[in-house]
Amino acid sequence: MRIALNILLGSFVLFFISCNDGGDENKDGTNDETTKEDVKMKVEQTKETISAYFSERKDSLIVEGRKNLDEFGREIAALENQLEENSGTIEKKLKNQRKEMVATLKDQRQDLEKQLEKLEKSSKDAWNDVSKSFQKASQDLEEGLKKAQNEFDNESKNKQ
């Protein structure tokens, strides 16, 4: 991330330096030379813009993450309820497998919540790596939930 930022800033510096036309005078007699101070000011403005962008992106990912955590929690609770409702009609072995599946999903959700907390506390430099880890954990939990829901639904269909 830091390398990309340095490349971007270096590109802006080169752009502004290349815009310097050697100090030729304009038609009105004024000198239009780009100074080091101008370049420094532009670089600082660029840093601020990039920082604001990452902050916005981080905030929106955190909001989306909280929303997903709540939804995942509801879906896990629904699976637990379904398991309880069907507990008298399914084999003990299958019931234990389903309980393990729900427990695994709960653990994954807890892990995702920890990842989100890390994301909230992450620095700009670490944000990219932490956000990738969070997104991967979210995707893994979502896939696990889909698999569990399919198995629970198939079980219900087989009973009918």
pLDDT in tens, 15-25: 555 555 454 44
d(CA 100, CA 132): 27
Q: What is the pTM of this model?
A: 0.64
**Number of folded domains that form the chain:** 1
Q: Which of the residue ranges 10-19, 28-37, 40-49 would you say has the lowest mean pLDDT?
A: 10-19
Within a domain: 41? no
Q: For residue 104, what pLDDT is reported? A: 94
The per-residue pLDDT for 28 is: 52
> Which residues, 6 or more positions from 86, have their beta carbon under 8 angstroms from its beta carbon?
155, 156, 159
Could you tell me which residues come within 8 angstroms of residue 93 by beta carbon, excluding any fewer than 6 positions away? none
Distances (CA, A) of 33 to 6, 41, 44, 111, 151: 25, 15, 19, 56, 71
Q: Assess if residue 71 is contained within a domain.
A: yes
Whether the CB-CB separation of 110 and 73 falls below 8 Å is answered with no
Residue 34 placed within a domain: no
pLDDT digits (tens, 9 = 90+) for 46-91: 777 766 777 778 888 889 999 999 999 999 999 999 888 887 777 8
